[in-house]
Structure 1
């Protein structure tokens, strides 16, 4: 007689226990779904449209400002709406990185400043800089941020110290470098196993090089870094030491006449020894590189004005034939032929009469690797004696340098 009421009571108790969990689970599911949607929106904002690389300088700056605004808007939205989701720190990290990358250099050119202000004006950028600094500080202190992202946010102090060291007067250089080294040491102690520490240590080495450190001092510092606790600097030191030695050797080579010979894509034989007595621009570039394409009209203008007075241009193209280790010999030749034709069509269309080196190896271009070229466009201006007299001379600076080298 009492069994049924007991079972009913138990059932009612069970329902009372389960029901709150079911009703609570639905909002949680909605929160997670909303977070995933907001994360997808942020990820989409991080994808640049393919057409951006074909714009001119002002067009790329305008696009860049819109790109940054999209990242800032979607990143801030995720951060505000999902205060316990660890992905919010990935948003903050990318917001800080992309904002600094795109806004850092726009004041160097008036057309860049004008293009930027038309989309993302200076006052708005200043407000965002304040917001991002607060987010950076919060991220560094957050318990749920990854060590990698924490280091990315925390390295900003080191970047600032390196800038100060680069601009320091000779009497202040030792103290400025010591401040950079102290910050590297602090970060290395805090993040002994983060691979990014290798790049930060390499940055300090380059600061030493700019300050005139000897080869022995550079190698001794890499040896010291290799002995630091953790894996980051120990792993980075061997390659870092080799790269530093290669830069020193390149510096030594620049004091001697450049030796460069190859067969151009159109079959011409090129040997810089045959061009002694002339001023030669060696330009590292590619048809896929928008800044390189911007420079073409300037080089053509200078070539037309000074070629008859002893000025030559030699192109080193980092074309990408998309070669793969698994390619058969036939596949490799087909890829090379296709990339070679792209280059020939481009130089013909743009009336670029100077010879071009081509191997289709992209960033592993043999001559680019030999000269430690890791960004393009890159320019080496060779004097009449065959020695490098200028690097990275572009725009109006290039014409002035060419005229001076020709003695005009």
Structure 2
């Protein structure tokens, strides 16, 4: 495959020979035609950093979708360009702490190195039906593992960078083990963890140590206890461990308080549903209510729908209600004006209503078209779906895990159904 224009532009942006305090020369194509207010010129390092993440933020043309081969080639070339730009930035600015940002991010948006597509791709578009250049992919991953190890042990890495780097290392290793049908052994990373502890020896090491101990505890609890005991023999490390434990306890208390607030507030939901019905949970006292956060694009959510529908049809007349909170994505584009956004919002709403009607989801749905910033998702701390709150007859949360067979058993228990 020919080198992409993205890769070329990234290389040009990051290899420009300029003094650290040099000002950018000229204006962009978009700004050349229309005068803009004067702003303070960026330094070369700021311009280069922005150039890296401008690549990462590129979106595929709107006419392309996941089923199109051109979409996958676009994403692959974009990810290759981003990874190359991130590495070039890190080499050019070895003392800038932001040099780690792109290196870590490119582990979560790594390229595939697509050569072609399997015949099954058109019917089932996805990674499994890509034909990749395995040698290039292996070389990329090997170099990436080396870079991430350096980030994990770097004294000037931030907790987010350090934790992200080690998380990516573990995720890649787990994926390879799974693909090979082998068990993942986290102890292969103990030399790196030891290096981090030796190099840092204070609270900076905790994003790595906590992940390692957590993984080791799942694999071999006794080994995890022994590892922590060994760490505590170093007084400086022991202080860092205690600080981390204190922080975790404080976070648990904070989470418990937030859960209490949610429990007190969720029973007061009141809104106009997408189909015009008025919903007021306060008026549903005496009934068991499932508040279900979902979306048409969420596979696990869709998989659970038949179970919810079956229970709704079976127990609705006996006191079971469902309220849907849908996190639909209207897919707004930066170029959209108000009219375009309004059209997309209406289309997303109608798509959801048609989807629900087709699947006999006859209960009311809250829709605001804000995707992850859905008003109720933000208010109740929902950052992953499916998410659900099962409320008893007093409006209190009794379960957030009532899925599958457990949903029916909880409904029957709360409604005191024994037949």
| Counterpart Cα distance in 2 of 1:72 and 1:205 | 42
| Match 1:280 to one of 280, 284, 289 | 289
* 1:380 equivalent in structure 2: 389
1:153 is matched with which residue: 208, 229, 234? 208
Counterpart of 1:254 in 2: which secondary structure? helix
Stretches of structure 2 that go unaligned for 5 or more consecutive residues are 1-82, 89-105, 114-123, 129-133, 154-161, 219-231
- State the 1:407 CA deviation: 0.7
Matched with 2:41 is: none
Question: Which secondary structure does the structure 1 equivalent of 2:402 belong to?
Answer: coil
Question: Is 1:319 the equivalent of 2:328?
Answer: yes
> Does the 8 Å CA contact 2:312/2:320 hold for their aligned counterparts?
yes
Q: Name the residue aligned to 1:125.
A: 183
> Does the 8 Å CA contact 1:256/1:386 hold for their aligned counterparts?
no
Which residue of the partner structure matches residue 213 of structure 1?
Answer: none
Partner residue in 2 for 1:290: 299
Q: Distance in 1 between matches of 2:383 and 2:247?
A: 15
Correspondence 1:77 to 2:86: no
> Deviation digits for residues 327-363 of structure 1, max 9, x if unmatched?
6542432231122123123213323211110001122
Provide, for residues 76-115 of structure 1, a one-character-per-residue CA deviation record: whole Å limited to 9, x for no partner. Answer: 63379x7999579899735434158879xxxxxxxxxxxx
CA contact (8 A) 1:319 1:339 kept: yes
Deviation at 1:368, TM superposition (A): 1.7
| Deviation by residue 1:264-294 (Cα, 9 ceiling, x = unmatched) | 1111111112322221100111122222222
8 Å contact 2:288–2:415 — kept in the other structure? yes
The correspondence for 2:169, drawn from 96, 104, 111, is: 96
1:215 aligned residue:
none
1:302 aligns with 2:347: no
Alignment-derived partner of residue 46 in structure 1: 110
- Residue 240 of structure 1 corresponds to none
What is the DSSP-based 3-state SS (H/G/I as helix, E as strand, rest coil) of the residue aligned with 2:283? helix
Unpaired runs of 5+ residues, structure 1, are 1-34, 50-58, 64-68, 104-115, 164-178, 190-196, 210-243
Kept in 1, the 8 Å contact 2:186–2:212? The answer is no
Q: Is the 8 A contact 1:259 1:272 kept in 2?
A: yes
Query: What is the distance in 2 between the residues matched to 1:186 and 1:372?
Result: 29
Aligned twin of 2:363: 354
Q: Secondary structure at the match of 2:268?
A: coil
What TM-score do you get using the length of structure 1 for normalisation? 0.53
Q: Which residue of 2 aligns with 1:370?
A: 379
1:405 counterpart (388, 395, 414) = 414
Residues 76 and 329 of structure 1: CA distance in aligned 2, closer, same or farther (over 3 Å): closer
Aligned-CA RMSD value: 5.0
1:75–1:95 CA contact under 8 A, matched in 2: no
Query: What residue is the counterpart of 1:186 in the other structure?
Result: 240
Point out the structure with max Rg over C-alpha: 1
Q: Which has the higher contact order (CA 8 A, sep 6+)?
A: 1
Select 1:265's aligned residue among 274, 289, 296: 274
Where does residue 157 of structure 2 map in the other structure?
Answer: none
Work out whether residues 206 and 240 of structure 2, in 8 Å CA contact, stay in contact via their aligned partners in 1.
no
Partners of 1:79 and 1:88 within 8 A in 2: no
Equivalence for 1:391: 400
